[in-house]
Each structure stands twice: as structure tokens, then as C-alpha cells.
């Protein structure tokens, strides 16, 4: 019997969310040279950039040239929803944004429709590069919900209006949307969000993207809560490791300081699948077991942040090869548990 080919996936912006096509191609070349077989297209995951048709062809052809398969992308929900505190990006999601021009959750109908157009643009990108899953953030203005409970009804009304409008477009394109579990959003609001959305929309259209690092930060009693609860909707992963966060830092009265600490603890380390680095706290055997029972197209996507030593010209490739080996080990674990 021939040996099973080991598959592996790492996102295209493992080093930086680059916008130069020369730099983007270089990172894809690096993934190929490190031995990765798949990737998640992550460029422009934030903001309101619209890909032209020619750029979609370029993305397709660059991936094909280097033999990398993109089975998922990370879409943008519109606008810049992060701010910088002490040089570190944090998500500002407790209240509605007022300066976003393309927002599928907006109460302004023109802006909402522009947000729908942005999502359709990313669905088109999926079809051009051969991706079948589009990961999407759906940040919740949960403090607004607490202070003005009637606004929750308005918010979900607008969200569902937008999803109703893109549902058939996505299905006709063969693309499923996967909502990601978030950081800086309490677990109870995310449970409510996923339950509402999955009750309304079928599995052919809407599913779940599990970010393991986010889960370890926000799900205090069970890091794998979302992965277990929505396992039958698991269409994408952002697998990463970290050391979580102490309760006293997460539950500070100053919301900005708490969010900053969460982001500082969102390490995006390479999963320590073989346990050699002795860092991180996630159980990769358990995650593999849960992934094995899910309707996820393998391989699972790693979402890591590599800090490159610029003084060592070989450091980037060394880290990428280590990451690829861990991804292959995880892929083998999943196969063993099927």
C-alpha cells in the first residue's frame, strides 16, 4: 500500500498582512518551499478593499504556480474594527461603529447593502481560487445590547437581512460561510449568536470556524466549548496555541485594558502537537479527535504568527518547516482518530 500523503496548511499572512503582490507571492513561495500543500487566503481580512477580477485571477495563478491549494479564505466584515493601544491592535467591539462604509450589520440601508456587496466580492474570490469556505467575523456590540436591549433585535434583524440576501449567491457559488469564535467577546453572547444563526440557516450555507487560541482565552471553563457544541458545523479552523490569560487581567473594570491584555495573550504560537516545545496549554489529541468527527475538509488550517529574526536569513524557513511538520503530525492524528 502506498504511504498516505501528509497534508498541511498555514495561512498566507503568517508573517504580516502584506498588500504588495511581490511580498504576497514571496510568502506563498515560502509556504511551497517549506512543503505546505494548502493555505487559507488571509490578505485583506480587515477593511473595505474590493478585489478586482484581474486580481482574483492573479491570486489563482500565483497559488497554482507554486502548487498550493486554497480551500478557504478569511473574508472581511468591513471597515477597520481594530485600534492600536501601545502599538498593539485591539478589537473595539463593545458598541456599534459609526465610521464604516461597508457594514452588513448596519442600520443604514445603503451601508448595509455595500457590506453585502463586500461579502459577495469575497465569495467571488473563493470561486476564482478554488476555496469552498469563507471565514467571517461577526463582532457583537454586546455592551450596546446590555444598555439598550431593544438594539439586539435591530442588530440581528439587519444581520439576517444581509445573510438572506447572500445565501443563494453563496450556495450557487459552492461556498459556505463559517462564523469564527472571537476574542474580546464574552462566551454567553457568542453562544447566543451561533444558536440564533444556526437555527435560521442550514448547513449548506452557514457553519463554524474554530479558533483554538480564541477559545482558550474566552471559554474559561472549557477551552473546547465551541468546538464541541458546534462540531457538526465545523467547516474551518484557525489552529494556534497560547498560555491563555489570568482571570484578573481578563475581568478588569477598564474594558480597553482588558481587551489589550487579551490581544497580548493571543499568541498565535505554532501548535505544539508533538509536545517538544513544552509551551501552550491546548490538548492537541483532543482537538484532533473532535476534528476527526467534524465535516471539515482536511487539512485543518493553522493560523500562526511567526516572529522572524531578520539577522538570520534561514530563520523564516526554519520556522515554516517546523510549522509544516507540526501540521502534518496533526493531520496524521486526525486520520488516526477517524
- Taking the domains of the chain in order of start, what are their residue ranges? 21-337
- pLDDT value at position 262? 87
- pLDDT value at position 91? 66
User: Cβ distance 71 to 131 under 8 Å?
Assistant: yes
Rounded CA separation 274/271 (Å): 9
Q: With H, G, I as helix, E, B as strand and everything else as coil, classify residue 66.
A: coil
Q: Which grid cell is 229?
A: 457544541
What confidence tens digit (pLDDT) does each residue in 56-99 have? 999 999 999 999 999 899 999 998 877 666 666 666 678 888 88
Q: Among residues of the chain, what percentage have pLDDT more than 90?
A: 83
- On the question of pLDDT at 318 being above 90, the answer is yes
Q: State the chain's mean pLDDT as an integer.
A: 94
- On the question of pLDDT at 22 being above 80, the answer is yes
Lowest mean pLDDT among 16-20, 75-79, 84-88, 257-261: 84-88
Output the CA–CA distances (angstroms, integers) from residue 89 to 66, 76, 190, in the order listed.
32, 16, 21
Helix (H) or strand (E) holding 178: strand 176-180
- At 3, the pLDDT band (50, 70, 90 cuts) reads low
Contact partners, residue 147, CB within 8 Å, separation at least 6: none
21-337 CATH: 3.20.20.150
- On the question of pLDDT at 17 being above 80, the answer is no
Cis status, amide bond into 299, omega within 30 of 0: yes
User: Rounded to two decimals, what is the model's pTM?
Assistant: 0.95
- pLDDT value at position 271? 97
Residues constituting the chain: 338
User: Cβ distance 124 to 131 under 8 Å?
Assistant: no
What confidence tens digit (pLDDT) does each residue in 202-215 have? 999 999 999 999 99
Mean pLDDT to the nearest integer, 230-236: 98
Mean pLDDT to the nearest integer, 109-130: 98
- At 1, the pLDDT band (50, 70, 90 cuts) reads very low
- pLDDT value at position 295? 98
Mean pLDDT to the nearest integer, 308-337: 96
- On the question of pLDDT at 338 being above 90, the answer is no
- At 279, the pLDDT band (50, 70, 90 cuts) reads confident
Amino acid at each position: 500500500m502506498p504511504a498516505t500523503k501528509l497534508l498541511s496548511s498555514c495561512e498566507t499572512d503568517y508573517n504580516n498582512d502584506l498588500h504588495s503582490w511581490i511580498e504576497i507571492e514571496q510568502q506563498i513561495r515560502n509556504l511551497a518551499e517549506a512543503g505546505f500543500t494548502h493555505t487559507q487566503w488571509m490578505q485583506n481580512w480587515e477593511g473595505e478593499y474590493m478585489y478586482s477580477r484581474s486580481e482574483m485571477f492573479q491570486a489563482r495563478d500565483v497559488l497554482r504556480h507554486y502548487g498550493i491549494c486554497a480551500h478557504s479564505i478569511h473574508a472581511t466584515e468591513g471597515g477597520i474594527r481594530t485600534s492600536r493601544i501601545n502599538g498593539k491592535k485591539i478589537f473595539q467591539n463593545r458598541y456599534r461603529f459609526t465610521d464604516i462604509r461597508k457594514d452588513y450589520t448596519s442600520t443604514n440601508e445603503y451601508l448595509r447593502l455595500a457590506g453585502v456587496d463586500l461579502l459577495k466580492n469575497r465569495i467571488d474570490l473563493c470561486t476564482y481560487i478554488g476555496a469552498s469556505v469563507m471565514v467571517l467575523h461577526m463582532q457583537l456590540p454586546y455592551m450596546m445590547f446590555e444598555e439598550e436591549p431593544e438594539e439586539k433585535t435591530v442588530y440581528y434583524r439587519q444581520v439576517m437581512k444581509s445573510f438572506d440576501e447572500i445565501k443563494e449567491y453563496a450556495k450557487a457559488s459552492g461556498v459556505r460561510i463559517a462564523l469564527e469564535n472571537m476574542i474580546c467577546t464574552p462566551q454567553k453572547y457568542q453562544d447566543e449568536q451561533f444558536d440564533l444563526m444556526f437555527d435560521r440557516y442550514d448547513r449548506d450555507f452557514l457553519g463554524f470556524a474554530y479558533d483554538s487560541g480564541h477559545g482558550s482565552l474566552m471559554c474559561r471553563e472549557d477551552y473546547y466549548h465551541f468546538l464541541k457544541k458546534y462540531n457538526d458545523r465545523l467547516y474551518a479552523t484557525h489552529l494556534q496555541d497560547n498560555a491563555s490569560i489570568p482571570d484578573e487581567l481578563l475581568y478588569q473594570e477598564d474594558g480597553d485594558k482588558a481587551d489589550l491584555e487579551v490581544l497580548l495573550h493571543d499568541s498565535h504560537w505554532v501548535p505544539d502537537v508533538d509536545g517538544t516545545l513544552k509551551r501552550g496549554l491546548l490538548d492537541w489529541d483532543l482537538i484532533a479527535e473532535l476534528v476527526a468527527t467534524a465535516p471539515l475538509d482536511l487539512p485543518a488550517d493553522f493560523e500562526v504568527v511567526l516572529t522572524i529574526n531578520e539577522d538570520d536569513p534561514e530563520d523564516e524557513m526554519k520556522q515554516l518547516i517546523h510549522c509544516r511538520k507540526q501540521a502534518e503530525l496533526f493531520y496524521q492524528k486526525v486520520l488516526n482518530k477517524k
